[in-house]
Copies of this chain bind each other. A is one copy, B any other.
Amino acid sequence: MNAPRRLQVAVVGAAECPPELAALATEVGAGLAGGGAVVLTGGRSGVMAAASAGARAAGGLVVGVLPGADARATPPNPDVEVALFTGLGQARNQLLVLSAGAVVAIGGGWGTLSEIALALKQGVPVVLLDSWSLQRPDGAAEPLLHEAESAAEAVSLALALGRRGAAGGA
């Protein structure tokens, strides 16, 4: 009998970020790995690299879903252990969020916003940490969207939300 697959959680954020956000991302990555989750990221620098470093230092498995077709086009950060080279550009954001039981968004620019939106569109819960402030234009509440005040809270929310579904891509 096989053990069930582990929860997969995506950490998304910009490829360039100030040190405070990188510190949050490292703490989130470590917390998720400590909680037993596989950490998925876009595989690049900034928030993605910081989350990867935190997760790996905590003994976790780090999967990078890269936009380029190979390591020359988009080199993975050094803490990516499994690298998926998609060659899809920003369309890779789609499979990153679909493969996650929950998404943690830290800071972020337009790419991050696309990941938040793609997740919510397709039923994947999102935890915002120092990220976009979002309200639907029709004013409707979005039960899948959560805001965390700290890295620790983001971790517990993501683990809890992800576990409600199955082991990622639920």
Contacts and interface: CB of A to CB of B under 8 A. Distances in A.
Interface stretch (A28-36, A108-116, A148-156): A108-116
Interface in A44-59: 56
A86 B90 contact: no
A98 B121 contact: no
A98 B82 CA distance: 13
Interface in A82-130: 82-91, 93-95, 98-99, 107-111, 113-114, 116-118, 120-122, 130
A79 interface: yes
Contact of A98 (B5, B86, B107, B117): B86
A136 B109 contact: yes
Contact of A83 (B8, B113, B120, B122): B8
**What is the total number of copies of this protein in its complex?**
4
Contacts of A85: 95, 98-99, 168-169
Contacts of A25: none
B69 A169 contact: yes
Given A76-B5, A95-B86, A98-B85, A111 B107 contact: no
Interface of A: 2, 5-6, 8, 38, 56, 61, 63, 65-66, 69-71, 76, 78-91, 93-95, 98-99, 107-111, 113-114, 116-118, 120-122, 130-134, 136-138, 142, 166-170
Given A5-B76, A61-B82, A110-B117, 9 more contacts: A70-B170, A71-B169, A84-B169, A88-B91, A90-B118, A109-B138, A113-B134, A117-B117, A133-B137
Top 7 A-B residue pairs of the complex, sorted by shortest distance between their CB atoms: A85-B169, A114-B117, A110-B121, A113-B117, A91-B94, A87-B89, A86-B95
